[in-house]
C-alpha cells in the first residue's frame, strides 16, 4: 500500500471515530434526534460517491498558492 493511501485511510478512520464517539455520547444522553442528525450528515447513500482529499490551505493566499505544483490523482 502506498504511503498516500495509508494517510488517507488514517484520515477516514479518524473522521469515523470522531463521529462515532460523538454519536455514542448523544445516544447515552438520550439525545436521539441530535444523533440522527449527525448520522444523516455523515451517511453516504450513493455508491458512486468518493472521498476527496486536499492539502490544508488555511494559511495560504492566492499569491503563495503553487497552482502549477498541485497534482491531481484519479483513483480507481
10-28 pLDDT tens trace? 888 888 899 899 999 999 9
Would residue 39 count as lying in a domain? Answer: yes
Would residue 67 count as lying in a domain? Answer: no
pTM beyond 0.85: no
How sure is the predictor about 35, in pLDDT bands with cuts at 50, 70 and 90?
A: very high
Would residue 59 count as lying in a domain? Answer: no
Q: What is the number of structural domains in the chain?
A: 1
pLDDT at 33: 95
The C-alpha atoms of residue 44 and residue 8 are separated, in whole angstroms, by 18
Would residue 73 count as lying in a domain? Answer: no
Q: Which domain range does residue 34 map to?
A: 1-46
Would residue 63 count as lying in a domain? Answer: no
Would residue 38 count as lying in a domain? Answer: yes
Q: Distance between terminal CA atoms of the chain? A: 14
pLDDT at 76: 58
How sure is the predictor about 40, in pLDDT bands with cuts at 50, 70 and 90?
A: confident
pLDDT at 13: 87
Amino acid at each position: 500500500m502506498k504511503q498516500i493511501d495509508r494517510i488517507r485511510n488514517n484520515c477516514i478512520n479518524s473522521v469515523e471515530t470522531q463521529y462515532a464517539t460523538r454519536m455514542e455520547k448523544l445516544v447515552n444522553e438520550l439525545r436521539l434526534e441530535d444523533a440522527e442528525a449527525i448520522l444523516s450528515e455523515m451517511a453516504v447513500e450513493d455508491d458512486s460517491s468518493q472521498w476527496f482529499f486536499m492539502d490544508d490551505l488555511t494559511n495560504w493566499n492566492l499569491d503563495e498558492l503553487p497552482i502549477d505544483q498541485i497534482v491531481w490523482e484519479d483513483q480507481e
